[in-house]
A and B are shown apart, each in its own frame.
Chain A
Amino acid sequence: MFNLPIEGEELFILEFGDIVNYFSVYTTTLFLFATAFIIIAIIARPEQQTDIIFGTDAVYTKEITHENLRFQRFMAIACGLATLGAVCSGDLFNFSLFTALIGITNIGIVAGVNNRYVLNAAYNYGIVAMVATTFLFGGAATALGTCGTLSIWELAGRGMVPLAAKMFLVLGVMGEGMAPFYIAKAEITRAPGAPYVLMIHVSSLLIFLRVIEIILTV
């Protein structure tokens, strides 16, 4: 398992039957990265934008209600925790489940913003994420059907998982990790949801990196 080029050294193993959660240098790096951004989401204050009315001296500061702030912060932390789970799970199925959860929480982060364009973008992303879930579960099911196990630990280095299952997994992660494109489309990187939107980018990046590791390992 740990003599494969991408993994690096073995750091820690936690066995639950045939499902083995493992930390290699690679996954630990991803894990620490996600942890850092969870801490940022916990301590960060929301950004308060100011609008200047052109031609006058008037300046507006956008208020962010406490309720809205709590909801977005909760969703950002939940998204971070789902990312932690996706990064360190040793099971194809757990990985797809956590990735689906990331998709749901990603929408939660932006759903607090009461703006039609933002909600439209979130809605379109939601449809993509829902279709992507099918691919994720289909990938896990195909791997299970051909190999008889879902444990990455047991599948590692054997090359048993068929190409179709790997393609399904990558397609699924592409769908779930599509969120930053919609963020860019709605231009809310610095809008009311400001610091919490970062978590969307982080989670998408990390699940992409993790799925690369998985398809190179199994």
Chain B
Amino acid sequence: MDFYQVGLFCTLICVIISFIALLRERDDIHKILVVDLIETTGLVIVCLVATDLAEALVLPGLVVGISELLMLTELYIRKEKLPLPAFQPIRIEVMRTAPPIITFALVVYGIILSGFSGGAVAGIGLVFYFMCKGYEERFALLEMVSGYAWALWIVAFFIFMILPQAWLIAVILAGGAILMKVTTKMALIGTMREGRDV
């Protein structure tokens, strides 16, 4: 038996254990956690069986799983009528002085990288900035930028399919658009702590 088969066997056991856990669990909030466990182990199986195209299945699987998790937790908060926790944000020296320069460096590096990874790098910079500095932001604007960037990304894909000879402009378009989209989406994560929507 080689490593692959051992891995597959172990993952199957994990899946079975998590299903048994779901059957025995009665508490609502724990059910969410156990279901997330099932999703994760299921994705590991997908990784193992779906050969070279697994990436194309795992990434959307992860996204769908996370969106369903968010939806369920949101529903749970509504169902139980839980209040938003009120807490004092921490205030330390480095959070006031560091953000501009670190964010600047990360955003510039992200723009040079471009594409998905560039978007992630620039997005992390913005997350850091928003978390430390607080903000007054119009979220509709961020969402609009993200939406237009997504549309440009799709346009780039159509150029790939319809006009393959114009691949260079399509690559530039797709790289720039996905940079914008990932950056704006990730920046929203940094705004979950405090601040207000103008």
Residues of A within 8 A of B (CB): 16-17, 93, 97, 100-101, 103-104, 107-108, 111, 114, 116, 119-120, 122-123, 126-127, 129-131, 133-135, 137-138, 140-142, 144-145, 148, 150
14 other A-B residue contacts (CB within 8 Å) besides A16-B161, A114-B78: A97-B60, A119-B75, A123-B75, A123-B76, A127-B32, A127-B35, A130-B72, A131-B38, A137-B42, A140-B50, A140-B57, A141-B49, A141-B50, A144-B50
Nearest chain-A residue to B76 (Cβ)?
A123
Q: Given A16-B161, A126-B68, A145–B75 Cβ distance below 8 Å?
A: no
Nearest chain-A residue to B60 (Cβ)?
A97
Chain A residue contacts of B61, Cβ below 8 A = 133, 137
Chain B residue contacts of A141, Cβ below 8 A = 45-46, 49-50, 54, 57
Q: Dominant SS at the A interface?
A: helix
Chain A residue contacts of B31, Cβ below 8 A = 127
A122–B54 Cα gap in the complex (Å)? 31
Task: Determine whether the beta carbon of B64 is less than 8 Å from that of A119.
Answer: no
Q: Given A93-B56, A120-B79, A145–B51 Cβ distance below 8 Å?
A: yes
30 contacts between A and B (CB under 8 A): A93-B56, A100-B68, A101-B64, A104-B67, A107-B71, A107-B75, A111-B71, A119-B75, A119-B78, A122-B75, A123-B28, A123-B75, A123-B79, A127-B32, A127-B72, A129-B68, A130-B65, A133-B61, A133-B64, A134-B39, A134-B43, A137-B61, A137-B64, A140-B50, A141-B45, A141-B54, A142-B49, A144-B50, A144-B53, A145-B50
* B69 close to chain A: CB less than 8 A: yes
A114–B75 Cα gap in the complex (Å)? 10
Task: Tell me the smallest distance from the CB of A197 to a CB of chain B, in Å.
Answer: 17
Q: Dominant SS at the B interface?
A: helix
Nearest chain-A residue to B75 (Cβ)?
A123
Chain A residue contacts of B42, Cβ below 8 A = 134-135, 137-138
Give the number of A-B contacts (CB < 8 Å).
92
Task: Tell me the smallest distance from the CB of A152 to a CB of chain B, in Å.
Answer: 16
- The B13-44 residues at the A interface (CB cut-off 8 A) are 22, 28, 31-32, 35, 38-39, 42-43
Q: Which of B67, B75, B161 contacts A111 (CB 8 A)?
A: B75
Chain A residue contacts of B79, Cβ below 8 A = 116, 119-120, 123
Q: Which of B38, B60, B71 contacts A134 (CB 8 A)?
A: B38
What number of B residues sit within 8 Å (CB to CB) of A? 33
Q: Which of A107, A120, A130, A145 contacts B49 (CB 8 A)?
A: A145
Chain A residue contacts of B161, Cβ below 8 A = 16-17
Task: Determine whether the beta carbon of B72 is less than 8 Å from that of A123.
Answer: yes
Task: Tell me the smallest distance from the CB of B27 to a CB of chain A, in Å.
Answer: 12
Task: Tell me the smallest distance from the CB of B44 to a CB of chain A, in Å.
Answer: 11
Chain A residue contacts of B72, Cβ below 8 A = 123, 126-127, 130
Chain A residue contacts of B74, Cβ below 8 A = 111
Q: Which of B60, B64, B65 lies at the interface centre, i.e. has the most chain A CB atoms within 10 A of its CB?
A: B64
Nearest chain-B residue to A143 (Cβ)?
B50
Chain A residue contacts of B69, Cβ below 8 A = 130
